[in-house]
Amino acid sequence: MEEILLHLPYFGPVSHFKEIVKPATIWFENEDNYQKQTYRNRTYIYGANGKLLLNIPVKHLNAPGVKLHQKYKDVKIENDFKWQQLHWKSLKSAYQTSPFFEYYEDDFAPLFHGKEDFLMEFNYKCFDLVCESLQITVDYKKTVEYFRDPAGIIDRRDLINAKKSREVPEYIQVFQDKKGFIQDLSILDLLFNEGPNAVNYLREM
């Protein structure tokens, strides 16, 4: 069986879940340094005005004149901001008219109504719930050591880069008639629009 190495995103894009549904052992990189402007703490959905960024605020290590590195698994969420309330409100506004939002709403709501301390722990909760919603069992493992060039494994850690645009096959989106199809949004966009068929879509990519 193949082994695939990925970073753990916040409700990762469709292209990321294309790898997840493959018949492979998934490894999540748990020993990397945190980097800004990646899917580690952001996701994109389709709002009424187009592509909408949802960003989780995080606490940064600060020291005058010194660039400090922090491991992803040690990054804490900045809970002084009401980010959960904002994200849930945005999701409801964007997808309340989608075919399957109400079907999944009660499952996802608790993620946005309880205090979360560590970003990675929260992202694992999100990932597990998405897999449950897709009705897939993912054999995933967590790395215990960082390798820049791991041997004998398919390295797809590049998928965490939020700046790179990737194309995916078109499916029906809520505001598509107004703004057209938007590529590679959060897995939630696919799930709320396609429902149980989402996993078939991913496997056929």
Are 175 and 46 in contact by the 8 Å Cβ rule? The answer is: yes
The structural domains of the chain, with segments of one domain joined by +, span 2-204
* pLDDT band at 64; cut points 50, 70, 90: low
Q: What is the pLDDT of residues 93-147, one digit of tens each?
A: 999 999 999 999 999 999 999 999 999 999 999 999 999 999 999 989 999 998 8
Q: What is the pLDDT of residues 119-131, one digit of tens each?
A: 999 999 999 999 9
Report field, pTM of the whole predicted structure over 0.75: yes
- Has residue 4 got a pLDDT over 70? yes
d(CA 46, CA 30): 29
Per DSSP, helices labelled H in the chain are 14-20, 83-95, 101-108, 119-134, 176-179, 187-194, 198-204
Quick one: average pLDDT of 48-58? 97
First to last CA, the chain: 19
Token duo for residue 41: 């703490």
